[in-house]
Amino acid sequence: CGLFCPQNYPLYIRSVPTENELKFHYTVHTSLDVVDEKISAMGKALVDQRELYLGLLYPTEDYKVYGYVTNSKVKFVMVVDSSNTALRDNEIRSVSAASRAPWGAGNNKSIHSPPLPFQMFRKLHNSYTDIMCNPFYNPGDRIHSRAFDTMVNSMMMQVC
């Protein structure tokens, strides 16, 4: 899981397990180029949305990389093991409407829950918002929060 400011420097990076941490950092940082390409391709459509779930950025032999961008251009990147069956591609593809309409807000999808990556990005975004509301946090600084670490760890254990 990685959280990056609009200038692409890391605010928070966490990997589980830690034995391939260098490979993970490389994958996360190279995915930022794909995120920037998708953002520039969206152009003004991005301005109209509050946040943008980018979905699968690219698959590798070992991982699948997902992306999410807020209206303030803060980027969230999630790298998941390719063998993970909890994240099916058809669920990922169906989430394109999720960034435009809230789940269960009067649409016919109210009985269905959003796909897992979208839920995880929403959880990350909500926790990031809590950090931004902290008067002792300086926006742009690296995130050092036990509550945020706990939330990320529990979320990663869900997927691993």
21-75 per-position pLDDT tens digit: 888 889 999 999 999 998 888 776 655 665 688 888 988 888 889 999 988 899 9
Instruction: Give pTM, 2 decimals.
Output: 0.78
Strands (E), the chain: 2-4, 10-13, 51-59, 63-70, 75-81
Average pLDDT value over all residues in the chain: 78
Contact 69, 124 (CB under 8 A): no
For Cα atoms 81, 87, 91, give the angle at the middle one, nearest 5 degrees. Answer: 150
Residue 118: which H helix or E strand, with range?
Answer: helix 116-132
* Confidence band for 138, pLDDT divided at 50, 70 and 90: very high
**Could you give the domains of the chain?**
2-159 (3.30.450.70)
Contacts of 2 (CB under 8 A, 6+ apart): 10, 12, 13, 14, 28, 75, 76, 77, 78, 79
